Structure 1
Amino acid sequence: MKRSTKIILTLIGLFGFSQLSLAQGDVANGEKLSAACAACHAADGNSSLPMFPKIAGLGEKYLLKQLKDIQAGSRTIPEMAGQLDGKSEQELKDLAAFFASKTTQLSGAKELQVQVNSGIKVDALKLGEKVYRAGNQETKVPACSGCHSPRGLGNDPAGYPRLSGQYADYIEKQLKSFRAGDRTNDGEAMVMRAVAEHMSDAEIKAVANYISGLN
């Protein structure tokens, strides 16, 4: 079976879990545990620096998975080294529940141009919207909206995070990491790696910029 077919079947299966229970963390206890997170991500999860992602409102299931992956070492983030040592699974659930309960603040897209492979410079917002909503059939890049919703609000039961309002620099970095194979915690189906491997630098920068202002 071709990998593209496997990915489609995986997505169908994930979207079918509409009744899937979420992490069921304790928001109040998560707030108490979040004090150490505030230095980088701010008290409400809306980081003030693009080098640190906004984690407010990303979705409880997604956040819990990232916390578990970081703790287990399957996702390496130098700034997070040691931060989750000794945390129980319930405490990770509580942290995920707390930050998922917060409201994401929009970063805002910028007017800029990107240079496509032909050497022509194009409007980044128009290209970003096209890739996000329709993908690129010629290079087999699927639409981002299929998993992350037309408004970028994600799909928490399926474990797909909210993207709307995230820093463009951070999204660009993650897409390039998936493309290079440096980030591999997207599951056995390699959903994000399979998407990013076909994206050009211009498409990545454009879609990241577009997403930052999506709402």
Structure 2
Amino acid sequence: MKKLIAGFVFGVGLTAMAHGAGNPEAGKQAAAACQACHGEGGAKPIMGSYPKISGLGERYLFDQLVAIQEDSRPIPEMTGQLTGKSKQDLQDLAAYFAQQKMVVSQADPELVEKGAALYRGGNMASGVPACAACHSPQGKGNEPAGYPHIGGQNAEYLAKQLEAYRDGTRANGSHAAIMVDVSARLTDAEIEAVSSYISGLN
């Protein structure tokens, strides 16, 4: 078992190194078009349904950019935005936005208690695991494993993604099966509460 765990950790480390080759300065030069929707540094999107892309983690950002470019994660608003960009271009963009600071939103005070309980402890009755297990207690994610920083993200966007995992319209990426399984066990009220809580988490 120890050898298996060590092998997994080593493999994750190699993957992380492979995804850590972006040039933030080059990415900054190409980021102007992205900021039209996602705001300066990717931190203040023009709509709550758009994600903050600042500080999410380079590996996660790169994987999502590739998925969007290859249409394995179709997003109508992103159509044509990544056309013609090389994998290095995408890596550079990921490196730039990963270095930007996530601006924390404001959670709904009436949903904090329920959202915190779900985020930190899950729901044993329905088999929902704690979000903190993968995304960390502060929502900072796990960069080597490719789990994104979600603390501070827009609540509307978070809810939209959990619903997309639940109905199967988002199923791309190496961790998609985990999120599909978790989301299938969440009620609408739980999605609302945990999304709100995460938006104010830092």
Identity percentage over the alignment? 48
Over 3 Å counting, the alpha-carbon distance change for 1:15 and 1:204 in structure 2 is farther
The one of 101, 104, 107 equivalent to 2:102 is: 104
| Pairing 1:154–2:121 present | no
| Pairing 1:28–2:25 present | yes
| Pairing 1:212–2:170 present | no
The one of 32, 55, 58 equivalent to 1:57 is: 55
Tell me the TM-score normalised to structure 1 length. Answer: 0.85
* Runs (4+) off by over 4 Å: 12-16
Contact 1:186 1:192 in 2 (8 A): no
Give the C-alpha shift of residue 125 in structure 1.
Answer: 1.2
Alpha-carbon distance between aligned partners in 1 of 2:182 and 2:9, rounded to the nearest angstrom: 17
The one of 71, 74, 78 equivalent to 2:72 is: 74
Aligned-partner residue type, residue 40 of structure 1? C
Over 3 Å counting, the alpha-carbon distance change for 1:136 and 1:16 in structure 2 is farther
Give the total of aligned pairs: 195
Gaps of 5+ in 2: none
Alpha-carbon distance between aligned partners in 2 of 1:135 and 1:13, rounded to the nearest angstrom: 25
Alpha-carbon distance between aligned partners in 1 of 2:145 and 2:10, rounded to the nearest angstrom: 6
Alpha-carbon distance between aligned partners in 1 of 2:140 and 2:9, rounded to the nearest angstrom: 16
Aligned to 1:197: 184
Over 3 Å counting, the alpha-carbon distance change for 1:15 and 1:135 in structure 2 is farther
Alpha-carbon distance between aligned partners in 1 of 2:155 and 2:10, rounded to the nearest angstrom: 26
The one of 123, 126, 135 equivalent to 2:122 is: 135
Gaps of 5+ in 1: 1-8, 113-123
Q: Deviations over 1:76-126 (max 9, x none)?
A: 1110000000000000000000000000000111123xxxxxxxxxxx211
| Pairing 1:42–2:29 present | no
